[in-house]
């Protein structure tokens, strides 16, 4: 989608600090990190929210989760722990309407979230 920020990052039109790229997804550092590690795992295909996923996307989302775990492990946070988050729509504070999996690690995180 031409007017979607994360589509434009995936296309290389807007720069980002990319830490992983393959045929189906990219991962880049969040511009406003909430922890020492804050990476977004983003499918290349435009999907606005979790509500727009179909059964055909099951493999894609599984790959995104496993990529999040691999990135956390590469950064040394597998054993001590990290958090993965999909925000969906207004009450969750979704601001970019192209799904993205936050991978947050490197500090002790509180629960419940704010």
Neighbouring CB atoms inside 10 A of 111's CB total 5
Nearest residue (CB) to ligand AMP, 54 versus 95: 95
Residue 98 binds Zn ion (CB under 5 A): yes
User: By C-alpha distance, which of 2, 26, 1 is closest to 16?
Assistant: 26
Rule CB under 6 A: choose which of 30, 45, 46, 48 binds ligand AMP.
Answer: 30
Which parts of 7-36 interact with Zn ion (CB under 5 A)?
7
Report DSSP letters for 26-79, one per residue: EEEE-SS-SSSEEEEEEESS---SGGG--GGGHHHHHHHHHHHHHHHHHTT-TT
Q: Which of Zn ion, ligand AMP, none interacts with 1 (beta carbon under 5 to 8 A by kind)?
A: Zn ion
Neighbouring CB atoms inside 10 A of 9's CB total 20
Q: Which of ligand AMP, Zn ion, none interacts with 16 (beta carbon under 5 to 8 A by kind)?
A: ligand AMP
| Residue 84 bridge partners (DSSP) | 103
Rule CB under 5 A: choose which of 29, 44, 46, 83 binds Zn ion.
Answer: 46
Which parts of 74-103 interact with ligand AMP (CB under 6 A)?
87, 93-96
Closest residue to Zn ion, based on beta-carbon distance: 4
Which parts of 31-50 interact with ligand AMP (CB under 6 A)?
31-32
Q: Would you call 98 a catalytic residue per the annotation? A: no
């Amino acid at each position: 989608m031409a007017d979607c920020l994360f589509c434009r990052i995936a296309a290389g039109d807007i720069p980002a600090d990319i830490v992983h790229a393959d045929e189906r997804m990219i991962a880049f550092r969040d511009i406003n990190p909430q922890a020492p590690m804050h990476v977004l795992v983003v499918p290349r295909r435009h999907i606005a929210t979790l509500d727009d996923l179909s059964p055909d996307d099951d493999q894609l989302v599984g790959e995104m989760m496993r990529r999040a775990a691999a990135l956390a492990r590469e950064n040394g946070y597998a054993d001590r722990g990290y958090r993965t988050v999909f925000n969906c729509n207004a009450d969750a504070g979704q601001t970019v309407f192209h799904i993205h999996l936050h991978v947050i690690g490197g500090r002790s995180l509180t629960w419940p979230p704010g």
